[in-house]
């Protein structure tokens, strides 16, 4: 009896555990249902006879939504493309949309473009705007699918439509929820049911694709990646005359039309080589979501604006150099010397194509070169793109920013700001809180890949990229700026002697911090102190002697590596040589030495010293053109000279 009682107890305990586990999973399932799912459940139990009609309606909701989603993905987040009053012309072949195939009317909107009057426009659609357009699309198109519900009337069903269609959608990274409020009374004989909530969960990565696309556009807007690569193409490819002086007795002439056609081909090849997440560093645009495959495209049939100065109609030509005096005589007195420098204005579109599985999201933006320079970002936010007036006024998440120094000591009264697109939003000053931390807690503007910045006088600014779409805490470390007196010592490379700079010598040092974008320099004797922060530096120095140098006449042969034609010209080089005679000349000043090296500076170095002693290397007084080349080349290797010393703190 005792054993039977024990077994009974175990059975009862097991049943209790089973009920508890089932209950937990049931409660979890209820809790984790979204708000739209919970709303759809209010329909209640549907009679068996009505289920086929309910399923038909839900299928129509799903099919209509998928059609709208396909439009959103194919048209850069828009179902209704933004209107634009600008008309294409030969002078301005651009509107606010890119036509993918001529005459096809298949258009993709520009997320960034410049108007004919020079105004830069951002039209990145928000998720809220996409949801609004998808809602409207379903409202306007669901009825056309529901017309086929008449097949059920032949089976004895009757329908009473009691209201209008009202749709709510929610775009998530992994799916899209659709809830349609459309009251339909469905009856079959003596059975009837009011179906007013129609729900569909669609497996779509639209949210993920849009999020990645936005980050890519923000990156392009902030660093001008494609503008910088375009300038490289102008400098590298022989087909594009840019800026050069060469030893040639034939004046160079180019056809602007031919240059433009070659330019388009070069852009097309190089744009297609750009990738994300991995591969060749030069062509790597950056790291983004690994689930999304990204391609960048320019097609030669698409618009391409190019203006070149100077030009004479369709002719571009170089000028003979006739200058015969001054310090550049050493370069310009060659028997046959041609020089040319062309200034370009260029504008062309790039299509961004993002893929996840069978879903493709695409949009376009413009690349803009003005006077051989990447565009200066002066982005205007389109009113079509913004639901409210200013991005700085929009926010929903509370974020705490803490400011500290390198020793994690609090830094009060640091000014915190948040940069999103072209908007620079002031957040406020950090104050000591109850935890003795210098912090500020505020509602931040909603932004993906924004830049939070902390600044205070006497410190180098701290900054960090941050998505503000969730509550969080950011710690920004500001580095103290130290002002140091500078003593400069010159090492004579021939004798090893150490001396102070001569009165006719100018010594320049430039410090570039390899850990961030901090730089500092000193031009001695005009300056005798420098500001520094801790970090690893690339240090460059040169000595310029302000005295007359006589360079005798000599014959020189100069060989250089130049890019080969074609897309591989970025990597493959060929050697070209020219020979010429340089007349004797006089230089008013010249580089006589210098040194480049890397050097680490610690906070301890800066805190425990009053000055920094900098050493550079005097090579020699140049007596020939070869001496000038030797001095310049040795600057890179003089740090290996036995008597050279790294900077010292005292």
- pLDDT digit string (tens) for 358-374? 899 999 999 999 989 99
- Secondary element (H or E) of residue 259: helix 256-273
d(CA 50, CA 231): 66
pLDDT (mean) for 36-63: 85
- pLDDT digit string (tens) for 540-553? 999 988 776 666 66
Question: HEC profile for 387-435?
Answer: CCCCHHHCEEEEEEEEEECCCCCECCCCEEEEEECCEEEEEEECEECCC
| pLDDT higher at 137 or 326 | 137
pLDDT (mean) for 206-213: 95
pTM: 0.54
Percent of the chain with pLDDT over 70: 80
For the chain, the average pLDDT equals 82
What are the residues whose beta carbons fall under 8 Å from the beta carbon of 391, sequence distance 6 or more? 381, 420, 421, 423, 425, 445, 446, 447
pLDDT beyond 70 at 380: no
Looking at residue 119, what is its pLDDT? 84
Looking at residue 382, what is its pLDDT? 44
Looking at residue 228, what is its pLDDT? 93
As beta bridge partners, residue 253 has: 317
d(CA 157, CA 49): 10
Q: Is 198 exposed, middle or buried (0-12, 13-18, 19+ CB in 10 A)?
A: buried
- Per domain, the residue ranges of the chain are 37-82+123-204, 207-381, 392-480, 482-547+589-649
CA dihedral defined by 587, 589, 594, 599, rounded to 10 degrees? -140
CB 211 within 8 A of CB 131: no
- Secondary element (H or E) of residue 631: helix 625-634
H helical segments located in 201-255: 206-223, 225-236
- pLDDT digit string (tens) for 555-603? 656 555 545 554 444 444 556 565 655 566 666 677 889 999 999 999 9
Looking at residue 377, what is its pLDDT? 60
d(CA 186, CA 48): 12
- The domain defined by 392-480 folds into Immunoglobulin-like (2.60.40)
Please choose, from the candidates 418, 516, 535, the residue with its C-alpha nearest in 3D space to the C-alpha of residue 474.
418
pLDDT (mean) for 295-320: 86
Looking at residue 330, what is its pLDDT? 38
Least-confidence region, from 81-90, 221-230, 278-287, 433-442: 81-90
- pLDDT digit string (tens) for 472-529? 999 999 999 999 999 999 999 988 899 999 988 889 999 999 888 788 888 898 888 9
CB 97 within 8 A of CB 81: yes
Least-confidence region, from 222-236, 283-297, 577-591: 577-591
Counting every residue, how long is the chain? 650
Structure tokens at 444: 């931040």
Phi and psi torsions of 271, nearest 5°: -65, -40
pLDDT (mean) for 314-320: 71
d(CA 308, CA 20): 78
Pick the CATH number of 482-547+589-649 from 3.30.70, 2.30.29, 2.40.50, 2.60.40: 2.60.40
d(CA 455, CA 283): 33
pLDDT beyond 90 at 425: no
pLDDT (mean) for 607-622: 92
Structure tokens at 615: 């050493």
| pLDDT higher at 450 or 230 | 230
When pLDDT is cut at 50, 70 and 90, the band that residue 82 belongs to is confident
């Amino acid at each position: 009896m005792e054993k039977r009682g024990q077994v009974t107890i175990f059975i009862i305990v097991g049943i209790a555990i089973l009920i508890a586990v089932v209950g937990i999973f049931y409660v979890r399932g209820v809790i984790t249902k979204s708000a739209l799912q919970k709303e759809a459940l209010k329909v209640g139990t549907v009679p068996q006879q009505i289920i086929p009609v309910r399923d038909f309606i839900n299928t129509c909701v799903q099919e209509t939504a998928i059609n709208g989603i396909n439009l959103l993905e194919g048209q850069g987040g828009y179902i209704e493309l933004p209107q634009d009053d600008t008309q294409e012309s030969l002078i301005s072949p651009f509107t606010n949309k890119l036509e993918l195939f001529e005459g096809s009317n298949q258009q993709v909107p520009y997320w960034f473009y410049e108007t004919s009057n020079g105004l830069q426009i951002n039209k990145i659609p928000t998720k809220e705007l996409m949801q609004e357009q998808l809602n409207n699309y379903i409202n306007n198109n669901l009825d056309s699918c529901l017309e086929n519900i008449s097949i059920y009337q032949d089976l004895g069903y009757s329908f009473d439509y009691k209201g209008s269609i009202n749709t709510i959608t929610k775009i998530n990274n992994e799916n899209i929820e659709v809830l349609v409020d459309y009251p339909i009374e469905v009856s079959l004989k003596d059975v009837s049911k009011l179906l007013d909530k129609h729900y569909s969960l669609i497996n779509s990565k639209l949210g993920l694709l849009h999020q990645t696309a936005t980050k890519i556009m923000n990156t392009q807007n902030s660093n001008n990646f494609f503008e910088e690569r375009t300038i490289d193409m102008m400098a590298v490819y022989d087909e594009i005359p840019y800026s050069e002086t060469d030893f040639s007795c034939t004046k160079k002439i180019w056809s602007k039309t031919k240059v433009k056609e070659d330019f388009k081909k070069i852009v097309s090849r190089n744009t297609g080589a750009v990738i994300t997440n991995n591969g060749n560093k030069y062509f790597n645009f950056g790291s983004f979501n690994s689930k999304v495959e990204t391609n960048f495209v320019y097609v030669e049939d698409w618009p391409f604006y190019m203006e070149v100065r100077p030009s004479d109609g369709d002719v571009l030509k170089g000028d003979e150099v006739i200058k015969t005096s001054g310090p550049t005589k050493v370069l310009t007195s060659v028997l046959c010397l041609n020089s040319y420098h062309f200034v370009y204005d260029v504008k062309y579109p790039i299509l961004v194509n993002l893929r996840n599985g069978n879903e493709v999201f695409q949009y376009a933006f413009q690349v803009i070169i003005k006077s051989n320079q990447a565009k200066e970002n002066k982005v205007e936010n389109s009113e079509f793109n913004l639901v409210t007036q200013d991005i700085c006024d929009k926010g929903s998440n509370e974020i705490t920013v803490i400011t500290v120094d390198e020793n994690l000591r609090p830094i009060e009264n640091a000014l915190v700001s948040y940069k999103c697109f072209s908007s620079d939003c002031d957040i406020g000053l950090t104050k000591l809180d109850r935890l003795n931390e210098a912090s500020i807690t505020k509602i931040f503007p909603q932004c993906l890949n924004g830049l939070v910045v902390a600044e205070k006088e006497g410190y180098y600014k701290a900054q960090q990229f941050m998505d503000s779409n969730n509550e969080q805490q950011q710690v920004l470390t500001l580095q103290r700026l130290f002002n140091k007196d500078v003593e400069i010592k010159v090492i004579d490379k021939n004798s090893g002697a150490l001396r102070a700079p001569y009165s006719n010598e100018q010594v320049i040092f430039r410090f570039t911090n390899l850990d961030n974008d901090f730089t500092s320099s000193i031009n001695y004797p005009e300056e005798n102190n420098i500001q520094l922060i801790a970090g690893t530096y690339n240090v460059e120095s040169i000595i310029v002697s302000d005295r007359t140098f006589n360079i005798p006449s000599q014959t020189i042969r100069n060989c250089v590596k130049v890019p080969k034609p074609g897309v591989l010209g970025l990597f493959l080089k060929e050697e070209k040589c020219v020979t010429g005679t340089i007349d004797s000349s006089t230089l008013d000043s010249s580089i006589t030495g210098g040194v480049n090296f890397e050097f680490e500076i610690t906070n301890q170095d800066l805190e425990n010293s009053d000055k920094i002693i900098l050493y550079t290397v005097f090579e020699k007084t140049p007596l020939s053109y070869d001496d000038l080349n030797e001095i310049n080349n040795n600057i890179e290797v003089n740090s290996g000279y036995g008597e050279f010393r790294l900077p010292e703190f005292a």
